[in-house]
Amino acid sequence: MQINGNGHKGAMLSEINVTPFVDVMLVLLIIFMVTAPMMTQGIDVKLPETSAPAMQSEEERLVVTVTGDQQIFINDNPVEKDALGAKLAAVYQNRQDHRGVFLRADEKIPYGYVVEVMAAIRQAGIDQIGMVTEPLRTPSKKKSSSR
């Protein structure tokens, strides 16, 4: 038993001090917020620009990317063009939803090569292919000076 300041016997008071725990959690949160953007790696592709509105998509689809040097990626994983159809078919065989894929192709890629990639995607049994583009940038109007 413990005797409190008034001389009465009372129960032991045990409280956990959560302040150090909160401090540590805030520091970890800040560290993750700073480092998370640095951890994302993407594939640099110069997408063509269009004036079409953006598509809204709730589910996450696979992204097939064709870079300027004609390398093909499924999400961030490199794939040979000959193995693209087989790998996509294997991926979609294990998925619950059989939605299409998004195709990102560099604007400098020949049209024929993009069509070959689209054909490989179609041969994998995927009939919905969304083309990813950049929105048109409004050209800056140059002021003409009159003389």
Q: What is the pLDDT at residue 130?
A: 83
Lowest model confidence (mean pLDDT) among 39-43, 66-70, 117-121:
39-43
Q: What is the pLDDT of residues 60-111, one digit of tens each?
A: 678 898 988 889 998 888 899 888 888 888 888 777 666 778 888 888 888 8
Q: What is the pLDDT at residue 25?
A: 93
- The alpha helices in the chain, defined as continuous H runs, are 19-39, 84-93, 111-123
Where do the domains of the chain lie, and which CATH numbers do they carry? 2-38 (no CATH), 49-135 (3.30.420.270)
Instruction: Provide φ and ψ at 9, rounded to 5°.
Output: -80, 135
Q: What is the mean pLDDT of residues 127-140?
A: 73
Q: Which of 61, 40, 53 is nearest to 121 (CA)?
A: 61
Strand partners, 72: 66, 79
Q: What is the mean pLDDT of residues 10-37?
A: 84
Whether the model pTM is above 0.75: no
